[in-house]
Structure 1
Amino acid sequence: MLTGMRDTPILLAAKMGVTEVVEKILEVFPVAIQDMNDEQKNIVLLAVENRQPQVYQLLLKRKLLQETAFKKVDHKGNGALHLAATLGQNQPKLIPSAALRKNRPWHIPGAALQLHWEIKWYKFIKDSMPRHFFPHHNNDGQTPKEIFTETHEDLVIKGGAWLTNTSQSCSVVAALIATVAFATAATVPGGVQEENGRPTLVGELAFKVYAISSLIALCLSITSIVMFLAILTSRYQEKDFARDLPIKMIRGLTSLFLSIISMLVSFCAGHFFVLEDKIKYAAYPAYIITCLPVTFLALAQFSLYIDLLRSIFTRVPQRTHKIVSF
């Protein structure tokens, strides 16, 4: 067992997330599992502190090592759960935008999603072992939960600010779409028949498309407004970032995007009646051009949408392996 050293090969591999090296060293030199650096951190503590889920999951599979490795504490009495709760050097407590881009450990942008994965990482470590494997208090008398609340306070504020700004902007767009959709749904192209009050163009396919798309646009835009208002009225506590707020955001963005599409379909279907039969088919390219703004919006927000989906449905956060250049 090597102690008092800054880094042995296995400790360096665990810190950097090189699972192949860790696995190979443990196969050849099983005793390397006992190596510790000058802060008395072993391979488990370094993997947890540096947010290396692949290394930690590899160690979980080696059940014979759990008794000796997972119960270790560092020179401050911090166990693995304490380090999972700590927003350390890899994640500065005060996170300006440049520092967040450079130092974020998770492959996910934005303070809100970073906090979401921080909560997932903490819960993953907590649920990976029986409760008695981790010490409840460190040398300062702090529990992991107290450390998490203290070190993530600024990230909660930044995440809440991002959600608030995004929700306010999207709410304005959703309200405009709802207004237009309501006016469109209440308007009957071609008028109604005097004898029975039925729409004159009720048998036309374009009229059916117009009526259905107008109703869908109205319903989806109202749904989007409700989702964003729910985010704006949230208390922005730590537990809200675990699942509630990301799900509301993805529902709001999905409803907003679909309502925009429905509104454009309604416009194209209603405008179809205005054209004469000779030029109706020539209008199709114009309708396609009209839909281009929605395509640009989808491309611009696609990465955010994918990040939201990945953050919600990924059980274990994934470490960033990309090299950031400036």
Structure 2
Amino acid sequence: MLAAANRHVNLFNFLRRKNFLRESTVRKIDDEGNSALHVAAVYSKYKLWPIPGAAAQMQWEIKWFEYVKYSMPRVSFRRNNKEKSAEEIFTETHTTLVKEGAEWLVKTSESCSVVAALIAAVALATSASIPGGIDEMTGKPKLQQHTAFEIFAISSLVALCFSVTALTMFLAILTSRFQQRDFARDLPVKLLLGLTSLFISIGAVLVSFSSGYSLVTEDKFRYAIFPVYAATCLPISIFAVAQLPLYLDLLRTNFKSRFDYR
């Protein structure tokens, strides 16, 4: 019961692997009639998971509760002395965390959607303008034989597609109802897909910008223009680096679990 209440994952896994979570053990209750599943459902701000962000905390709380529930025999699914089930206690004690997670997701999605919209606008304008112009005789781009032109065309299209995808994911989060169950999988996956698409679009638009300028810049200025490239790419690169820790945390919470369901 203490292992479940204090989120001691390693200890709980050890007891489970050694088959200590038998019916006689899980039948034990405290003075208020709470079983191990009841105490696992109680949220405390002093028992945080090693992951930043209220939304990620909520996701791991749901994972932990479901894991403990999966590990318990059916006999443990009982009500306490106040006639409350473990699910009801979980909902009541996590109301504040759900609200904090929703606010955090809204702020993150709003800031990222602004960047995604800007990249989409730039990518659309870039894809519509062809470096070197069009050959009036053939109607084809004059510089289409250059490798840099192919890179420019492909990267512009990639930037446009992924920036629109990122914008769609962030808007989907902003219009979500932020129900408790949404934090288990739906919202984190949308945020992860949005950030992935945003990072790809950022890289693609930088490649498109560099390749396009290399086509229209004369050879004698080609290497001198590199500092200008760096200065232009710096602000958006800083944003990407600032969001990278969040992206890595999302990968860890969605694809790496400390809970062994075997």
Do they fold alike, i.e. is TM over 0.5? yes
Q: Where does residue 243 of structure 1 map in the other structure?
A: 185
Pair 1:139 & 2:81 matched: yes
> What is the CA-CA distance between 1:295 and the residue it aligns to?
4.3
Q: Equivalences for 1:117-266 in 2 at 5 Å?
A: 117-132=60-75, 134-266=76-208
Q: What is the deviation of 1:316?
A: 3.2
Deviation at 1:122? 0.3
Matches within 5 A, 1:1-326: 45-63=1-19, 66-87=22-43, 91-92=44-45, 103-132=46-75, 134-284=76-226, 286-288=228-230, 290-316=232-258
Query: What is the distance in 2 between the residues matched to 1:274 and 1:64?
Result: 72
Question: Which residue number corresponds to residue 27 of structure 1?
Answer: none
Structure 2 partner of 1:25: none
CA shift for structure 1 position 283: 3.2
Identity of aligned residues (%): 53
Assess, with a 3 A threshold, how the Cα gap between structure 1 residues 77 and 151 changes in structure 2: closer, same or farther.
same
Q: 1:119 to 1:82 in 2, by over 3 A?
A: same
Bigger Rg, structure 1 or 2: 1
Task: Kindly state the Cα deviation for residue 104 of structure 1 after the two structures are TM-superposed.
Answer: 4.6
Report what 1:32 is aligned to. Answer: none
* Count, aligned residues: 260
- Deviation of residue 285 (structure 1)? 5.0
Give the structure-1-normalised TM-score.
0.75
Q: What is the letter of the counterpart of residue 126 of structure 2?
A: T
Measure the CA separation in 2 of the matches of 1:68 and 1:81: 14
Alignment CA distance shift 1:275-1:149 (3 Å): same
Q: What is the alpha-carbon distance in structure 1 between the residues aligned to residue 71 and residue 213 of structure 2?
A: 59
Separation (CA, whole Å) in 2 of partners of 1:64 and 1:275: 72
Q: Distance in 1 between matches of 2:9 and 2:83?
A: 27
Partner Cα distance (2:72, 2:108) in 1: 38
The Cα of 1:196 is off from its aligned counterpart by: 2.2
Partners of 2:131 and 2:21 in 1: how far apart?
Answer: 74
AA in 2 matched with 1:114? Q
C-alpha distance 291-104 of structure 1, shift in aligned 2 (>3 A):
farther
Distance in 1 between the 2:40 and 2:212 partners? 57
Q: Secondary structure at the match of 1:113?
A: helix
Compute the RMSD of aligned alpha carbons.
Answer: 1.8
Distance 1:53 1:230, change over 3 A: same
CA contact (8 A) 2:7 2:47 kept: no
Write out per-residue CA displacement over residues 114-168 of structure 1, whole angstroms, 9 at most, x where no aligned residue: 1110000000001113322x14101110011111111111111111111111111
How many Å separate the matches in 2 of 1:78 and 1:167?
39
Structure 1 position 65, deviation (Å): 5.6
Unaligned runs of 5+ in 2: none
Q: Where do 4+ consecutive residues of structure 1 move more than 6 Å?
A: none
Contact 1:47 1:53 (8 Å CA) reproduced: yes
User: 1:80, CA displacement in angstroms?
Assistant: 1.0
2:70 maps to a residue whose letter is: D
